[in-house]
A and B are shown apart, each in its own frame.
Chain A
Amino acid sequence: ELKVEQNPLFLSMQEGKNYTIYCNYSTTSDRLYWYRQDPGKSLESLFVLLSNGAVKQEGRLMASLDTKARLSTLHITAAVHDLSATYFCAVGSGSQGNLIFGKGTKLSVKP
C-alpha cells in the first residue's frame, strides 16, 4: 500500500530565508506532483515530476525527485509573504489513476 509522508506539517519562516519541504513515499512510483492551496481556495498544480533526477523550477520554488530514495523536495528560496499557503505532494503509480496525497505542509511566511 502506497503511503505518502510530508514534513514538516507546519512551517513558519521569515521572509528572505530558505527552506525545504520533504515528501517521502513508501513504494515505487513514476509520478509525483506538487500542489498549492491558499486558504479557502481550491488547489493549483505547481509541478509534475516524472523521472529520477527531475528538477523543475518556477520563481522561488524548485522541486526535485529522487525515485531511488523515494523522496521529493520542494525548496523555497528567499521566501516572500505571497508564498504562504498549504503545499501538498501527491504520488501516482503505474498507469492507474490512483493518486495518494500527503497531509500537506502549511507554510506561513512572516515579515
Chain B
Amino acid sequence: EAQVTQNPRYLITVTGKKLTVTCSQNMNHEYMSWYRQDPGLGLRQIYYSMNVEVTDKGDVPEGYKVSRKEKRNFPLILESPSPNQTSLYFCASSLTVLSYEQYFGPGTRLTVT
C-alpha cells in the first residue's frame, strides 16, 4: 500500500532534549516536505527536499534540521526543542514538486514542556 509513515505519532518531551521525528514513503517520490499545523495559523512549511541530498528552507525553519540521505526517508530533527515547537507535524511527499498531488503522513503531535 502506497503510504507516508511518521514516527512517533505522539511525543511529550522536555525543553532542550534532542528528538527526531522520522518520515518514510514507499512511492519512490522525489519531493518531500515537513509542515507544522497550529490553531489559527493553518499549515506552515518547515523544510522541503526536491531530491536526495537537496533540502531547502520553508517559511518556518528556525529550530529545525532535516536530512535526505535516501530517497524514502526525510527525518525532522529538533536539536533543542522549546515549548513554541509544540504543534502537530505532518510529513508529505509527491512524485515531483511541480505537478503532482502530495500524500500526507498521519501526523505527529508533539508537546514540549
Question: Residues on A close to B: CB < 8 A?
Answer: 31, 33, 35, 42-45, 48, 50, 88, 90, 92, 95-104
By a CB distance below 8 angstroms, the chain B residues around A100 are 45, 59
CB distance from A97 to the nearest CB of B (A): 4
For the A-B complex, the count of residue pairs with Cβ-Cβ distances under 8 Å equals: 59
Interface membership of B112, Cβ < 8 A: no
Name the one of A45, A101, A102 contacting B101, with C-beta atoms under 8 angstroms: A45
Question: Residues on B close to A: CB < 8 A?
Answer: 31, 33, 35, 40-45, 48-50, 56, 58-59, 90, 92, 97-107
CB distance from A13 to the nearest CB of B (A): 21
Cα distance A95–B96 when bound, in Å? 10
When C-beta atoms are compared, the residue in chain A nearest to B103 turns out to be A45
Cα distance A33–B43 when bound, in Å? 13
